[in-house]
Chain A
């Protein structure tokens, strides 16, 4: 196997394992999410914690850091590389298990669902690691929720801008007041059983087609 190269690394990893206190490594290209997880883990008392958000030279840095537990986002393209490092450790009879408990389907499902995976040095008691995964799962979920809300807010802002532009068009071309323009949009939307923003978008699109050079 290519074992020889990485087993060297793994052997050192095993030799340097501390009797107490877990050395946790968080790998996530998304800095904000990484910070959220870091905060959660620090609050829970994991102070031997490293966060890597730049994937450059990852293999070497993992070897140097020698972590007991690795938490990594599921979508990270470096997971195959990471797992190959563990697979190679088979050769030195100290395999590293993936996830907290491979027989625990529910925790695997929750982790994949949340978009996180975790790896632990084999021989580590599962009870010691389970809280880390639980924390990571809940923080990943919280992050997704935040992101969703942000997207929705952004969408609403966009909608409002389109409606404002449509109102402006109507006010200028038909001499309506702002309220009249809005009422017309709303009435049209109701008659056509569509959303106001859709009517507004059609109007803005049509205006730009009819007068590509003009400002609405």
Chain B
């Protein structure tokens, strides 16, 4: 196929840039007539800036960032839309050996159960009042920040009073942990595996244990570019869908790890990238645990941009006082995610697609077939504390969380 579209995409060197990298390197973009250029950035701030001045048309971006931008929280962000998600899960919480020892003394186990280990962290904190622990996250408007806070709060730990949360670049987190500057961090891969294998850290829990099948990175699109180039955007979604299928196949995991290991992409050893792909994570002390749905690139409608995901992120912005809730802001958040564009771009492939644009998050305790245009199963998607988020009852969810 001849090249019909030239698209420049920004990405940050992380495991979940995989779909974009594979779309380019395995030829799925080319098959769709796309000349896909990938531009590597070292911060989310510069991803945002390059989107704003149109150095890039689209980007691998933190799920809450386009919403924050559209709400005016993150200047100079352009108007953005999210027509696709780039997978589910992929993060973990890593703690220092010293903190893990204290947690283990209080009942934490290497099975990474969020409830047990959260309770253990709570007891470890209670045992040493006056010296607050410090945890790092990658960005204020990130799944990492919100899932860490959710886990802490549901474990009886006030994330603002009982501990300190700071922002650090993920490649610095392992060193900061080893030097005792921080006691733990919530980041994506390969930075937890790096922290465990190279900096003596220990996994405390994982995103998949805090909220199974939960949203993480998305494809952020400059809305102006999207409106002007609907065909290019649709072609890119097809290429990324093909890439997600390729990434999901176990026989491709080694090749994907080597591909991402190249200096132009993540630039770290393949052995640090493989665990997240095959779901067998080194947790610390030489132990390896198999974790279901650690990172899901394709199954369970993993690339579908659920409005309920956008709205959950919005409720957490309100919960942690980044913004005050109004009906208008809720509407802006919901409309940032565009399942309509996703459906229109992919329907000719005859895919099994969700017929709804939002779902009750946390409602599925087991894998469940759902009403859709084909055979599709979703879930489990439970929050570890049994919480449920019904996007039709958003006010009640916000009220309950602010009371808690």
A residues whose Cβ falls under 8 Å from a Cβ of B: 1-5, 55, 57, 59, 74-84, 87-88, 90-91, 97-99, 102, 105, 108-109, 112-113, 117
Contact = CB atoms under 8 A, between A and B. Distances in A.
A3 B160 contact: yes
B331 interface: no
B321 A1 contact: yes
Contact of A81 (B41, B73, B75, B167): B167
A91 B160 CA distance: 13
B53 A113 contact: yes
Interface stretch (B43-51, B252-260, B341-349): B43-51
A94 B250 CA distance: 51
The secondary-structure label for the interface of chain A is helix
The secondary-structure label for the interface of chain B is loop
B55 interface: yes
A105 B49 CA distance: 11
B53 A2 contact: no
A80 B140 CA distance: 8
A152 to B, nearest CB: 23
A12 B171 CA distance: 30
A1 B45 contact: no
Contacts of A99: 75-76
The 7 nearest A-B residue pairs measured at CB: A84-B167, A77-B169, A79-B45, A77-B42, A2-B165, A81-B167, A79-B43
Nearest to A72: B45
A59 B166 contact: yes
A91 B134 CA distance: 20
Contacts of A97: 75
A4 B132 CA distance: 13
B168 interface: yes
Interface of B: 41-46, 49-50, 52-53, 55, 73, 75-76, 138-140, 159-161, 164-169, 171-172, 181, 320-322
Contacts of A87: 73, 140, 322
B43 A1 contact: no
B45 A80 contact: yes
Given A81-B167, A112-B55, 9 more contacts: A1-B322, A78-B169, A80-B139, A80-B167, A90-B322, A99-B75, A108-B49, A112-B50, A117-B49
A57 to B, nearest CB: 8
A19 B149 CA distance: 39
A39 to B, nearest CB: 25
Given A2-B159, A112-B50, A83 B321 contact: no
B166 A81 contact: yes
B46 A108 contact: no
Contact of B160 (A2, A84, A102): A2
Contacts of B169: 77-78, 80-81
B76 A1 contact: no
A49 B165 CA distance: 30
Contacts of B159: 2
A83 B75 CA distance: 10
A65 to B, nearest CB: 18
Nearest to A97: B75
B75 A112 contact: no
A108 B167 contact: no
